[in-house]
Structure 1
Amino acid sequence: MTTLKPPPVQGRYRQALAVAEFRALLTALILSMLGQNGMLLAINVLIYTGSGSPLLSALAFTVSFLPHLFAGSLLSGLIDRLPQRRLLVAGDLLPAGLVTIMALPGMPAWALLATLFCVNLPVPLTMGVRGALVAELLPREGVIAGRSLLRVAAHTSQIAGFAVGGALVAALAPRGTLLGSAAVLGCSALLLRRRLRHRPRRGGRPSVSLARDSLRGAREVFSIPGLPGVLLFFWLVPFFVVWPEGLGTPYVETLGRPPADTGWWLAALPAGTAVGELAGVWLIAPHRRRSAARLLAAAGSVPLLGFAVRPDLPVALVLLMITGLCSAYTLAMDHVLLDIVPERLLGRVYGVNTAGLVVTQGLGFAAAGALAEALAPHLVIACAAVSGLTLTLLFRPAELTRKETRR
């Protein structure tokens, strides 16, 4: 029988930052995201300048996300089978080595995409470990603030990774940027090894195969009442929101601007997202976050309607930032998970959620690239706006519509 858990209490960022191991986890995430996003921009530019195809360029994003489907479904059991620090360190060291290989001259596009697939295999596992580790490191009232800080750090690092990556691509060329990204990933692994203490694995001695254990865990996750609908909502909304990111390089080219400006394009949406997350924690009362989720998600699609007139880059960046501001709807997810998920399944749920979220984003990139083969990039983005609005107005998960009492 599942026991009811007390409702989460609103925490503040300073509660999370007061814990030394959380600060190390946060700093390592920033370094890891800097390296991965700089690498992704370099690969995107490398493939597009070599092929001239919007579809292949968008596939660089898609391929970076598809490993989540495989790792999230068949390897998620590693979250409980391996010590947390070991899994986090390996999750940075393996990509660092592979990114170094990608910097070798003469690699064809298919080899770059195949290596990119392998680089991202550890990501859903490390995200699941971080989510569970935050719940261990912080008092209950600080968990929501801690997870919010991780998202803000990820988005801020995405901004810096794309912006600095754009400058490095212009100064060092894509392959020099790849080597710099590998070095940053190595620094993240070293920090985790030195600043996180060793913890034994969360699960006991495994009695079944890794794949069977992972699939069994996924079945447990989707059997939690009310959770599947919420997960689906938070996966489908970003499916359309990421379309502009997948079309950054071809859109910038249609404006007659240099490829390095793609870095500013890719930084605009996460910049708004980081500000929106901070504002959401400070301004939206905890008992109102669920009811505000659908409204904010719908509002995020409205600015993208402006792309129907093909705005110049400064206006386009503003529209993307406004869309990002509405991302505070994700705060509702943290409340739902702490309310309805048993503590023993938190790591698995965070892993499954990350895998599903990133897979749908990858499919969104692919859909945007495929449509851009037939339509101009600005029209594809306008189509994403209409589709996103329709989804958020018609889809009503029960856990996001029920009344909440003031806490």
Structure 2
Amino acid sequence: MTENGSAVANPAFILRSLLLFGLVLRNREFRAMVSTETLSVFGDFLSRVALAVLVFTRTGSAGLSGFAIALTLLPAVAGGFLLSGIADRHPRRDVMVAVNVVRAALVAVMAVPGLPLSLLCGLVAVSSFLTGPYAAANLALLRDVLPAEQYGTGMALRGMLSNGSQFLGLALGGLLASALSPAACLWLDSATFALAASIIVHRVVRRPAARSGPARRPGAGVFDLVWGTAGRRAAFLSTFTGLFLAAPLALAAPLAAGLGLPSRWVGFIMAAGAAGAIVGLAIFGRFAGAERSGWVFPVAAAAAGLPLIALAGVREPVAVLVLIGLGEAFWAIMTVIAASSFAGLLPDAQRGRGMGIAGSVNTAAQGLGALAAGVLGDLITPAVAIAVLGVAAALFALLPAGQWWRASGERGNPADRAPALAAQPAAVD
């Protein structure tokens, strides 16, 4: 039985994976941070389904329902770019607590019956905007909480739990919204934020701010920060892959219709990606050492789009789910390695800012990718549109992969050398 071929069914493999995950879970602060993020992600996806149902019920407009969902995503891009520096100028734990408390209050107001639609949309936008600095503080603090040798495994476990939360939030959101009410989902989301804030206060150590001094302009030094070395360029370029790989999620409904499947298959197609990411990251968790991620990153980057190409000629529903899940598995692995390496390659005084900007670009890329996939899906069949974007993803992967190999040639594996590189003089102030 080969390690790569049938590793998932190997009891020894499963035991080693559980031991690795158990090791990082012994870290009290990591447990607190990953549990609060899991709660927040679950609540967010519950509220997205609830908002879609609530707006559509009140207006009867699919366009306005889609607009409400867009408001849960797009303002986060601006928040990450404009406010991510807060995670460096203030204690990162304090930033996370403050954002959770404010978002708990905002979502609670959103659940008030009869709230004007314009005010509802405004509250959604503000809540989304605040996810930018929260994500920056969270990702930067994880690098402080976990030792360098456990960071890859921790990020893999974090990704698995996040995808699992998305899966449950999407699956249960519709059921709760119909069985109870959309407002009940919003109240539950508000409670998850409040509980997350309490857990962080009591379980995460308060560290001093990474950087003091006056605030920098949002755009000052951004280019040098994310583009200063080949390793940073590789990780940052990988955040653009959502332009192509978001296609299956965006085209789930027309893809199901094109295959002659009932509407319930739309949820299966959406969930296939999350399921693939969970399985892929579980496997990667066993091979999370920096010495392996040196070659895994370019392989995963190139392989993420390849399964999507096959969708152009596949009509069997189960095969469609498998191909989408396989592509998402490679995408998730690439993302974990990129995020882990990028966090280590950034100077601590600007790690929050850098991670916030990268997260914003990733979110924007997926949003624009979903829009592009929709336009392309109207011009050609959904399956062919996904396949075309799969080809584009495979070609684009040559850019981050090339920079990764360049970084490996210059300084060794970026994932392995990240702590040492981060200790060198920063390219920016």
Shorter-chain TM-score: what band?
Answer: 0.7 to 0.9
Given the alignment, which residue of 353, 364, 367 partners 2:369?
A: 364
Name the structure 2 match of 1:344: 349
Deviation at 1:37, TM superposition (A): 1.4
Alpha-carbon distance, 1:174 to partner: 3.7
Task: State the Cα distance separating 1:350 from its structure 2 match.
Answer: 1.7
* Alignment-derived partner of residue 145 in structure 1: 153
Cα deviation, residue 182, structure 1: 2.4
Q: Is the Cα–Cα contact under 8 Å of residues 88 and 351 in structure 2 kept in the other structure?
A: no
AA aligned to 2:163 is H
**Identity within the alignment, %:** 26
Shift of 1:253: 6.2
* Gaps in structure 2 of 5+ consecutive residues: 1-18, 417-429
State how far apart, in whole Å, the 2-side matches of 1:114 and 1:370 are.
27
Distance 2:234 2:145 in 1: 26
Q: State how 1:165-176 maps to structure 2 within 5 Å.
A: 165-176=173-184
Bigger Cα displacement from structure 2, 347-356 vs 58-67: 58-67
Contact 1:162 1:266 in 2 (8 A): no
| 1:288 equivalent among 288, 292, 316 | 292
Shift of the 14–219 alpha-carbon distance from structure 1 to 2, 3 Å rule, reads same
Partners of 2:268 and 2:101 in 1: CA distance: 28
Structure 1 length-normalised TM: 0.82
Match of 1:226 among 230, 235, 245: 230
Q: CA RMSD in A?
A: 3.3
> Match for 2:326 among 322, 327, 345?
322
Partner of 1:380: 385
Correspondent of 2:25 among 17, 20, 27: 17
Residue 353 of structure 1 and its aligned partner are, at CA, apart by 1.6
Whether the aligned pair in 1 keeps the contact of 2:211 and 2:350 (CA below 8 Å) is no
Other-structure match for 1:6: none
Q: CA deviation at 1:30?
A: 0.7
Letter in 2 for 1:294: P
Q: Does 1:118 align with 2:145?
A: no
Partner of residue 220 from structure 2, selected from 216, 221, 235: 216
Is 1:267 paired with 2:271?
Answer: yes
C-alpha distance after superposition, 1:81-109 (max 9, x if no partner): 33322211222233333333444556687
The question of 1:391 aligning with 2:403 is answered: no
* Alignment partner of 1:188 is 2:193: no
Aligned partner letter, 2:369: G
Q: Does the Cα contact within 8 Å between 2:237 and 2:399 map onto a contact in 1?
A: no
- Report what 1:132 is aligned to: 140
Moved more, 19-28 or 148-157: 148-157
Query: What's the secondary structure of 1:215's corresponding residue?
Result: coil
Higher mean C-alpha displacement, 372-381 vs 194-203: 372-381
Distance in 2 between residues matched to 1:318 and 1:134, nearest whole Å = 32
Cα distance, 1:369 vs structure 2: 3.3
Distance 1:109 1:305 in 2: 41
Aligned length: 391
Counterpart selection for 2:106 from 98, 101, 104: 98
CA drift at 1:303: 2.5
Counterpart selection for 1:305 from 305, 309, 327: 309
Q: Deviations over 1:209-260 (max 9, x none)?
A: x4x344336355135222553244211212211122223355556656356x
Please tell me the residue identity of whatever aligns with 2:233: G
| 1:89 partner amino acid | V
C-alpha distance in 2, partners of 1:245/1:346?
30
The residue aligned with 1:245 is 249
Residues 86, 334 of structure 1: alpha-carbon distance in 2 compared, 3 angstrom cutoff = closer
Q: Using a 3 Å threshold, how does the CA distance of structure 1 residues 219 and 240 change in structure 2: closer, same or farther?
A: closer
Q: Could you say if the C-alpha distance between residues 31 and 234 of structure 1 is closer, same or farther in structure 2, counting changes exceeding 3 Å?
A: same
Is 1:78 matched up with 2:86?
Answer: yes
Contact residue 336 and residue 399 of structure 1 kept, 8 A: no
